[in-house]
Amino acid sequence: MSDSLTIIDNRTGKKYEVPISYGTYNTYGASIPASALRSIKSSDDDFGMMTYDPGYTNTAHCKSAITFVDGEKGILKYRGYSIEDLATRGNFLEVAYLILHGDLPNRSQLDEWEHEITHHTLIHESIKKFIEGFHYDAHPMIMLISTIAGLSSFYPMAGDTADQVRRTRQIHRLIAKLPTISAFAYRYRVGLRYSYPDNDLSYTGNFLKMLFKMTRSYTPDPILEKVLDVLFILHADHEQNCSTSVMRGVGSSLPDPYVSVAAAAAALYGPLHGGANERVVRMLREIGDKKNVPAYIKRVKAGEFRLMGFGHRVYKNYDPRAKILRGLFEQVFEATGRSPLLDVAVDLERIALEDDYFVERKLYPNVDFYSGIIYQAMGFPMDMFPVLFAIPRTVGWLAQWAELLEDPDLRIARPRQIYTGENERTYIPVESRE
């Protein structure tokens, strides 16, 4: 058996042999180089064959050693470690180090890493003016996206993407400053004085304090601090999703990472991606009561709208992150009190998982189905949900960006199209047009 594919072009009867290459697994990720199809032509002046793949449903646009997802089996791994192992035994900054560096840190590496991140949490005072330029009710994700892009102007050397030391410095800054900007955006919206970073706290503990500290001293609830840490681990990377491919696409033209992260965050904001958890809670509120679930499912099946938090481009099985989140319910609700939306969510899930429409299409709950319920119980307003996704995902975006810049195959992202417009037309002056 040879590792190649034989293609016969029935237009010409010609035979082509195309090499097959593999990633880590031979049964997952076999591919052929798309450029090999270009030699398949029906005549000499033929451009050559392309593949048509809207939404990149079956196109690998890079080789990556960071995250592995087997959607059929419901497996997610960062750098070879299962998400279940990392979520139950690791902490977010340790996992961030793993995603960025390839290996788990030893004690001194972890101490140094935590020190680096903690000591970049402050933002230039002028950055607050970006946030304050917004109307009081601007969506915090819009404030975040714009402010991240604005950061670029504070670090002009960040555009030197070939310099690894400078690159690393921007990575530290972005991971450290995202919680500060996010918390400041929140405080501005609700009209509270900013609460500055506290370097003695954990990454998530500090974030909670910057958000929720009022006049008295504030100690984060250790359960909620840990739950948020797990949520951040689950959201840290997810291979070539919509926002990550935007990060790689923008990064491929070699701008500084601030504008690339801003672009990736904009992609995340959409309701079909990181905006879905907000929509889930709105949907559960709209359903309001368990008794209304069957009628709601009926409308979904009739094609009126989609069931938010269900379905995934890659997972055709239970999203492993959703399973971990479901397991956190007890501790969360013990700390926060039971969410009234929980009964509706559980019933909706039960009915959907039994229904032929969802079974046939392999539509299972995704991470967003549960994250919104947990965030809401923890006291986060709904429009902060995509922000809570963007903070940890910044780690994944930056790891993918750094990997892209080191990739010998790096080329500017520039897909092809199949032109379906007019062939040849002649300009007619406006006076003569009908």
Closest C-alpha among 233, 235, 259 to residue 246: 259
Tokens describing residue 255: 């701008």
Q: Does 384 participate in binding ligand ACO (rule CB under 6 A)?
A: no
| Region binding ligand ACO by CB under 6 A among candidate stretches 132-140, 158-166, 308-316, 407-415 | 308-316
296 in contact with ligand ACO (CB under 6 A):
no
Choose, by CB under 6 A, the member of 144, 363, 391, 399 that binds ligand ACO.
363
Binding window for ligand ACO (CB under 6 A); candidates: 29-37, 198-206, 270-278, 406-414: 270-278
Task: Give the nearest residue (CB) to ligand ACO.
Answer: 311
For residue 19, the cross-strand partners are: 4
Contact between 361 and ligand ACO by CB under 6 A: the answer reads: yes
372 is a contact residue toward ligand ACO (CB under 6 A): no
Site string for ligand ACO, 320-359 (x = CB under 6 A): ----------------------------------------
Q: Which of 139, 238, 312, 319 is catalytic?
A: 312
Distance between CA 168 and CA 161 in Å, rounded? 10
Interacting residue with ligand ACO among 263, 308, 344, 404 (CB under 6 A): 308
Report, in Å, the least distance between residue 303 CB and ligand ACO: 7
Gap between the Cα atoms of 104 and 347, Å rounded: 40
Q: Which of 204, 366, 376, 394 binds ligand ACO (CB under 6 A)?
A: 366
312 is annotated as an active-site residue:
yes
Amino acid sitting at position 243: S
Active site (annotated) includes residue 237:
no
Q: Residues touching ligand ACO: how many (CB under 6 A)?
A: 18
Give the binding range for ligand ACO (CB under 6 A) out of 32-40, 222-230, 360-368, 401-409. 360-368
Q: Which of 160, 273, 355, 407 is catalytic?
A: 273
Nearest residue (CB) to ligand ACO, 262 versus 308 = 308
Contact flag: residue 306 with ligand ACO (CB under 6 A): yes
Shorter beta-carbon distance to ligand ACO: residue 116 or 278: 278
CA neighbor of 233 nearest in space, from 42, 96, 59: 96
Stretch that binds ligand ACO, among 12-20, 72-80, 146-154, 310-318 (CB under 6 A): 310-318
CB of 41 to ligand ACO, least distance (A): 32
The answer to whether 79 contacts ligand ACO (rule: CB under 6 A) is: no
Active site residue 238: no
CB of 209 to ligand ACO, least distance (A): 27
- Out of 368, 373, 390, 403, point to the residue binding ligand ACO (CB under 6 A): 368
The least distance separating ligand ACO from the CB of residue 277, rounded to whole angstroms, comes to 8
What tokens appear for 252 in the block?
Answer: 């491929």
HSE (side-chain half, CA atoms, 13 Å) at 384: 26
Told to check if 211 binds ligand ACO by CB under 6 A, we report no
Cα–Cα dist 373/433, whole Å = 58
Contact string 225-264 vs ligand ACO (x = CB under 6 A): ----------------------------------------
Residue in 120, 312, 326, 393 binding ligand ACO, rule: CB under 6 A: 312
Residue whose CB is less far from ligand ACO, 220 or 392: 392
Residues that bind ligand ACO (CB under 6 A): 272-274, 276, 300, 306-313, 361, 363, 366-368
Catalytically active residues are: 273, 312, 368
